[in-house]
C-alpha cells in the first residue's frame, strides 16, 4: 500500500550562501549561524578544504579568531559520505572546491538538510571565483558581506592582491591581500 508523503510537514532543506571579499566577515557569519544551530540542538557538520591551513589544520577560524570544529576534505564528494544524519552542513572557503560542490549542496538540500556555504565571490582579478557563481544561482538565500576599503574607508567588495603572482589560489592574510572599494581597486 502506497502512502503519499505529507509535503506540508516534510523536513525541507535549503541552500544559504554567504559571500563577499576577503576580510568581510564571511567565516565569522558562517560560524555564528552554525553555533546558533548547535544551540537549537541541531546536528551540525562543518567542512573546509584541506588546503586551507592558515589558522588551523582542522578548525574553521575567522580573522578575529572565532572558531568551530570542522573536517578538512580534499573534494566536495566527501561531504556526501561524511554528512550522515545531520540537520545542518556548513562549508567554508567553498571557492576552493571543485564544481561538484553545486551538486553536493543541491543533493543535501533535497535530503532536507540546511546547507550554509561561505566563500569569495570574486578572485583577486575581480572575476567570479570557482563554483561560487553557480551556487549563488541556485541558492535560496544569499548574504553578500562587505569589508572596509583600507584606502578610502568606503565599503569594499574587492580583494586586492599586494604581491605579484599569477596563481589564482594564493592563501594569505593582510600580508598579501587588502580589501578595496571598486574605485580604489581599479586605480
Give CA 171 to chain center in angstroms: 15
Which among 93, 100, 173, 178 is annotated as catalytic? 93
Closest by alpha carbon to 100, among 87, 91, 113, 88? Answer: 91
CA distance to 37, 56, 76, 79, 177, per residue, from 139 (Å): 19, 28, 17, 18, 28
The answer to whether 100 is a known catalytic residue is no
- In degrees and rounded to multiples of 5, residue 127 shows phi and psi of -105, 150
140 within 8 A of 41, measured Cβ to Cβ: no
Catalytic residue ranges: 93
Amino acid at each position: 500500500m502506497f502512502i503519499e508523503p505529507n509535503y506540508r510537514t516534510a523536513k525541507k532543506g535549503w541552500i544559504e550562501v554567504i559571500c563577499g571579499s576577503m576580510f568581510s566577515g564571511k567565516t565569522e557569519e558562517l560560524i555564528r549561524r552554525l553555533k546558533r544551530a548547535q544551540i537549537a540542538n541541531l546536528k551540525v557538520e562543518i567542512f573546509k578544504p584541506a588546503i586551507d591551513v592558515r589558522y588551523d589544520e582542522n578548525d574553521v577560524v575567522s580573522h578575529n579568531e572565532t572558531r568551530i570544529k570542522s573536517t578538512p576534505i580534499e573534494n566536495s564528494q566527501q561531504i556526501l559520505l561524511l554528512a550522515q544524519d545531520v540537520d545542518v552542513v556548513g562549508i567554508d572557503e567553498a571557492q576552493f572546491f571543485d564544481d561538484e560542490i553545486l551538486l553536493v549542496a543541491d543533493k543535501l538540500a533535497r535530503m532536507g538538510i540546511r546547507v550554509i556555504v561561505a566563500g569569495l565571490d570574486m578572485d583577486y582579478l575581480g572575476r567570479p571565483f570557482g563554483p561560487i557563481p553557480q551556487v549563488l544561482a541556485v541558492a535560496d538565500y544569499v548574504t553578500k558581506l562587505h569589508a572596509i576599503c583600507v584606502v578610502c574607508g568606503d565599503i569594499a567588495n574587492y580583494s586586492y592582491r599586494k604581491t605579484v603572482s599569477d596563481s589564482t589560489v594564493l592563501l594569505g592574510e593582510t600580508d598579501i591581500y587588502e580589501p578595496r572599494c571598486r574605485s580604489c581597486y581599479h586605480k
